[in-house]
């Protein structure tokens, strides 16, 4: 008997909604299913891939048999082809779209590949329950992403009260009344929900505003899969793109960072900044591990991990709209130990301003 076709699932959602967290949960609980992951991140420093696989680029085999590669828009097709090779023995492929990608373009590319070994397995849309109302107000165009989802994951339920959570779910249903909605914290979604998505039928497409695949393929002229500044295709957009207004500032340092100044940066991010993520190193006795830092709309979260064989260095990506990039860069440069006169000594108390945001790593 021939091998079953491999579902290719797209995980999308606004910046910081919890896509990587959900993917990590899937990989941790894969339980014999071999999952291939493509991370289509924003910007050239691929923090998401670093967080998933522990290193920066190319394909990485994980110990549980899963594979992870980081790709830009142009690399998706060849990376998919690589994962589809029989020797990869992959059961399912999940593509994490960058937080500002147009999932339609990605879906169109997948369905356009016309490879008998794979099939489009649906769009999982991750919503940040704590920021959804504000994000939709500021970026109404994201409803167009949510409306074509096959499954909506309302994540970060732990951050909101019950009535707020119901209001978010109601909003989701108004935008997409056919996709099942799963309410979660920390992206805890059953793998079975992703690998066996509800089939699209003429019936359920007709019942709602959810588009059929044919409509998707024909009706849309968008060309781009967001990656980096101005990474557009040949234009012709009929809708505003999230990444038309978003930009990122990337920063790396071989020298350790000052924890107190980093905490100030995370807690009081530059104007226009929406999302900060990074892997950072401090030169503070007892705290020389790898620190993974996140800030999303004012929430700071820090995890501590081992470096493994990696070189100790810091990479930070700051994403936002209308940011003064030079100012952001100046502020980032000022975080490096030695940037200010007299601060070459490790700041042992300053580390508390970082560790107070620590969450237990899974
Ligand atoms: N409190 C809380 N925090 C969460 C939850 N899920 C994710 N986070 C945190 O939210 C931050 C962003 O999560 P990610 O999984 O990196 O989000 P993402 O969608 O991959 O982010 P981008 O790739 O930047 O778009 C991290 O600090 C996560 O630890 C949740 O359910 N509750």
> Which among 146, 108, 140 has a CA at the least distance from the CA of 222?
108
**What pLDDT does 359 receive?**
78
CATH 3.30.300.30 fits 246-355, yes or no: no
The CA 155 to ligand 1 mean position distance, Å, reads 9
The CA 48 to ligand 1 mean position distance, Å, reads 11
Least confident of 111-125, 266-280, 338-352: 338-352
Span 336-342, average pLDDT:
81
| Cβ neighbours for 193, distance < 8 A, ≥ 6 positions apart | 151, 180, 182
pLDDT band at 233, cuts 50/70/90?
A: very low
Which atom of ligand 1 sits closest to the CA of residue 126? Answer: 19
Which atom of ligand 1 sits closest to the CA of residue 21? Answer: 15
Span 265-279, average pLDDT:
83
Ligand 1 neighbours (beta carbon < 6 A):
13, 15-21, 48, 99, 155-156, 158-159, 185-187, 275, 277, 294, 296, 301
Specify the domain boundaries for CATH 3.40.50.300 within the chain.
6-240
**What pLDDT does 246 receive?**
58
Question: Regarding predicted confidence, which is higher, 68 or 128?
Answer: 128
Contact 153, 109 (CB under 8 A): no
Atom 7 of ligand 1, nearest CA residue = 18
Could you please report the per-residue DSSP string of 44-71? SS-HHHHHHHSSSSEEEE-TTS-EEEEE
pTM of structure? 0.66
pLDDT band at 2, cuts 50/70/90?
A: low
What digits encode the pLDDT tens for the residues 307-321?
Answer: 988 899 999 988 776
The CA 299 to ligand 1 mean position distance, Å, reads 10
| Cβ neighbours for 54, distance < 8 A, ≥ 6 positions apart | 60, 308, 310
**Which CATH number does 6-240 carry?**
3.40.50.300
At residue 95, does pLDDT exceed 70?
A: yes
Mean pLDDT comparison of 33-37, 47-51, 314-318, 329-333, highest-scoring range: 329-333
ipTM of the shown complex: 0.99
Specify the domain boundaries for CATH 3.30.1220.10 within the chain.
246-355
């Amino acid at each position: 008997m021939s091998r079953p076709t491999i579902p290719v699932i797209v995980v999308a959602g606004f910046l910081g909604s919890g896509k990587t967290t959900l993917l990590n949960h899937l990989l941790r609980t894969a339980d014999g299913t071999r999952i291939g992951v493509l991370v289509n991140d924003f910007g050239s420093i691929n923090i998401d891939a670093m967080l998933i696989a522990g290193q920066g680029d190319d394909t990485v085999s994980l110990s549980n048999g899963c594979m992870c590669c980081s790709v830009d828009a142009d690399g998706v097709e060849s990376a998919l082809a690589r994962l589809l090779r029989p020797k990869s023995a992959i059961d399912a492929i999940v593509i994490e779209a960058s937080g500002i990608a147009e999932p339609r373009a990605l879906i169109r590319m997948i369905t356009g590949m016309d490879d008998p070994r794979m099939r489009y397995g649906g769009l999982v849309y991750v919503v940040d329950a704590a920021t959804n109302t504000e994000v939709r107000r500021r970026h109404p165009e994201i409803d167009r992403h949510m409306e074509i989802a096959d499954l909506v994951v309302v994540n970060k339920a732990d951050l909101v009260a019950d009535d707020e959570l119901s209001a978010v779910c109601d909003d989701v249903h108004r935008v997409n009344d056919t996709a099942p909605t799963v309410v979660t914290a920390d992206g805890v979604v059953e793998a079975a929900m992703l690998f066996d998505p509800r089939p699209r039928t003429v019936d359920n497409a007709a019942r709602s505003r959810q588009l059929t695949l044919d409509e998707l393929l024909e009706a849309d002229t968008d060309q781009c899969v967001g990656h980096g500044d101005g990474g557009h295709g040949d234009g012709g957009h009929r809708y505003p793109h999230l990444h038309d207004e978003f930009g990122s500032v990337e920063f790396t340092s071989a020298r350790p960072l000052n924890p107190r100044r980093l905490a100030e940066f995370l807690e009081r991010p530059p104007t226009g900044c929406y999302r900060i993520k990074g892997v950072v190193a401090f030169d503070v006795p007892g705290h020389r591990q790898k620190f993974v830092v996140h800030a999303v709309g004012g929430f700071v979260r820090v995890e501590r991990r081992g470096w493994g064989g990696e070189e100790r260095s810091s990479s930070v990506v700051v994403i936002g709209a209308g940011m003064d990039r030079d100012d952001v860069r100046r502020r980032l440069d000022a975080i490096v130990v030695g940037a200010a006169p007299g601060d070459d000594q490790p700041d042992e108390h300053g580390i508390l301003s970082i560790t107070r945001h620590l969450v237990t790593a899974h």
